C-alpha cells in the first residue's frame, strides 16, 4: 500500500518526518517544570499529505492498516474513534483554534518508532503531522511552536497530561547530540554525547500496562508535594533535605524529582566544562534508575533485572529505565563500537532469566 493506492490520488504534495526520542537523564521531571536531557533516535515517523478532493478528511496508518474517513461536521464535533486518528485530529484542531485555515486533507502515516516502549511514538506522529501541515499551508510557525502545538494536541485531544519534553525532543533534537532543556522557560542548548560513547536501547518485552494510571498518580502526588512545600513546582526545590518533612509517599516522590533535576544539572555542567567523564555520566544514570525504582516506584522486576545485567556488563558505563516506566525500555551509555557485542551478551543473560527482550537502538 502507498499514498496513491489508498487515496486514489497522485503523489502526495508534501512529506515530513520526525524522530522518536530516548531520555538519558531527567525522568518524570518535565511536568514538574524541571530539567531533561533527551536525544533523538534513528527511528522516525513519516507523514505524506495532499489536499482532499471530496471535502472529507482521510487518514491512513500503514502500521495499523487502519483508515479514517470523516466529514467536516463530524470532524468539528470530534467524532474520532481510532487512537492514532485522535492525535492527527488534535494537531489540526489546535492549529485551527489559533486562526489557521486547514482545508480537508489526505494523510498517510508510516513509522519505524516502536510503539509502547517509551520512545515517544505519539510525539513523533504529532510533530511530523504539524511539520507537514506547516509545509502544505505555508504556516508561519517555528520548531518550538510546533512542539507546543503538539503538546497541546496530546493533552486536549488524546487526553494525556504530558509534559513538553517529548515534543521538544522530536522537534529539535538529533541523534548526535543531547538536548538540554529547561521545561519551564524552554531555555535549551545542544551538547555533544560524551566522546567515545554510544546509545543502546533495549526493550524489556514487558508492556507498559500501568503507565497511564501510574503516570497520572505520580503527577498528582508531585503537585500535592509542591503545594505542601509552598512552591509552584518541585523544580523550585534544589536542596533535597527540604523534602524530608513531607508525609510518605510524597517525601520519596519529591526526593526523586529534586535529585533527578540535580543529576541533569551536574551532567550538563560537566559536559559544558569539558570535564565529562563517561564513568561519572554513567554513575548518574545508575543513580537515576535507583531513584526511579525506590523513590518514584515506576520500575518493574523485568526492568530491574535488565538494568542490573547492563550495569554489570563490561563496556557499559551506565543504564536505567527510560520513559514513564511500569515496563517498556532501558537506555544504556556504552562504549562506541561495542553496541552489538554488549547487546548480545545482555540479551543472552536476560532471556536466560525467563524474559524476552529486543534491541531497539544501537546494534
pLDDT in tens, 185-234: 999 999 988 889 999 999 999 987 665 678 889 999 999 999 999 999 99
Do 3-192 and 197-361 agree at the fold level?
no
Closest CA to 133 of 162, 93, 86, 170: 93
Dihedral (CA of 87, 91, 92, 93) sign: positive
Catalytic site includes residue 295: no
- Say if CB 151 and CB 158 are below 8 A apart: no
Taking phi first (over 0 means left), then psi (-120 to 50 degrees means alpha), and beta for anything else, what does residue 63 get?
A: alpha
pLDDT of 275 = 59
Percent of the chain with pLDDT over 70: 97
CA distances from residue 101 to 146, 156, 202 in whole angstroms, order as listed? 16, 19, 42
- Say if CB 284 and CB 318 are below 8 A apart: yes
- Mean pLDDT, residues 46-55 taken together: 95
Taking phi first (over 0 means left), then psi (-120 to 50 degrees means alpha), and beta for anything else, what does residue 263 get?
A: alpha
DSSP state of 195: T
**Range with the lowest mean pLDDT among 45-49, 75-79, 202-206?**
75-79
**Active-site option among 30, 33, 166, 295:** 166
Return the ∠ at Cα 148 (arms to 144 and 153), rounded to 5°: 145
- Mean pLDDT, residues 111-138 taken together: 93
- Mean pLDDT, residues 88-93 taken together: 95
pLDDT of 273 = 57
* Tens digits of residue pLDDT in 9-45: 889 999 999 999 999 999 999 999 999 999 999 999 9
**Mean pLDDT of the chain, nearest integer:** 93
- Say if CB 356 and CB 327 are below 8 A apart: no
**Where residue 331 falls among pLDDT bands split at 50, 70, 90?**
very high
* Tens digits of residue pLDDT in 157-175: 888 888 899 999 999 999 9
CATH topology of domain 3-192: Ribosomal Protein S5; domain 2 (3.30.230)
pLDDT of 272 = 60
Whether pLDDT at 62 is above 60: yes
Distance spanning both ends of the chain, measured CA to CA = 29
Closest CA to 26 of 36, 14, 11: 36
**The overall pTM is greater than 0.85:** yes
CATH code of 197-361, in short, is 3.30.70.890
* Tens digits of residue pLDDT in 282-321: 999 999 999 999 999 999 999 999 999 999 999 999 999 9
Q: Where are the domains of the chain?
A: 3-192, 197-361
Amino acid at each position: 500500500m502507498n499514498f496513491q493506492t489508498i487515496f486514489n490520488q497522485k503523489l502526495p504534495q508534501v512529506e515530513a518526518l520526525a524522530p522518536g526520542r530516548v531520555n538519558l537523564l531527567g525522568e518524570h521531571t518535565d511536568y514538574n517544570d524541571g530539567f531533561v536531557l533527551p536525544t533523538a533516535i534513528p527511528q522516525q515517523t513519516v507523514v505524506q499529505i495532499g489536499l482532499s478532493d471530496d471535502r472529507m478528511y482521510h487518514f491512513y496508518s500503514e502500521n495499523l492498516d487502519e483508515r479514517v474517513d470523516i466529514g467536516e461536521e463530524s470532524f468539528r464535533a470530534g467524532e474520532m474513534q481510532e487512537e492514532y486518528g485522535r492525535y492527527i485530529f488534535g494537531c489540526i484542531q489546535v492549529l485551527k483554534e489559533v486562526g489557521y485555515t486547514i482545508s480537508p486533507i489526505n494523510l498517510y502515516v508510516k513509522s519505524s518508532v516502536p510503539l509502547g516502549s517509551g520512545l515517544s511514538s505519539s510525539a513523533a506522529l504529532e510533530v511530523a503531522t504539524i511539520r507537514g501541515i506547516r509545509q502544505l499551508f505555508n504556516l508561519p510557525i517555528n520548531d518550538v511552536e510546533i512542539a507546543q502545538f503538539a503538546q497541546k494536541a496530546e493533552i486536549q485531544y488524546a487526553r494525556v497530561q504530558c509534559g513538553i519534553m517529548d515534543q521538544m525532543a522530536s522537534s529539535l533534537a538529533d541523534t548526535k547530540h543531547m538536548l538540554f532543556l529547561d521545561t519551564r522557560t524552554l531555555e535549551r542548548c545542544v551538547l555533544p554525547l560524551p566522546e567515545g560513547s554510544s546509545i543502546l536501547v533495549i526493550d524489556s518485552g514487558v508492556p507498559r500496562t500501568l503507565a497511564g494510571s501510574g503516570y497520572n498518580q505520580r503527577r498528582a502526588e508531585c503537585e500535592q508535594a509542591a503545594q505542601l512545600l509552598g512552591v509552584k513546582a518541585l523544580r523550585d526545590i534544589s536542596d533535597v533535605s527540604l523534602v524530608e518533612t513531607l508525609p510518605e509517599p510524597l517525601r520519596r516522590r519529591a526526593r526523586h524529582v529534586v535529585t533527578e533535576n540535580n543529576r541533569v544539572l551536574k551532567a550538563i555542567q560537566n559536559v559544558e566544562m569539558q570535564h565529562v567523564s563517561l564513568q561519572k555520566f554513567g554513575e548518574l544514570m545508575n543513580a537515576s534508575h535507583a531513584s526511579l525504582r525506590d523513590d518514584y516506584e515506576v520500575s518493574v522486576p523485568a526492568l530491574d533485572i535488565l538494568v542490573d545485567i547492563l550495569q554489570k556488563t563490561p563496556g557499559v558505563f551506565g543504564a536505567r529505565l527510560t520513559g514513564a516506566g511500569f515496563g517498556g525500555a532501558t537506555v544504556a551509555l556504552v562504549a562506541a563500537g561495542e553496541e552489538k557485542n554488549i547487546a548480545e551478551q545482555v540479551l543472552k543473560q536476560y532471556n536466560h532469566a525467563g524474559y524476552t527482550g529486543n534491541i531497539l537502538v544501537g546494534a
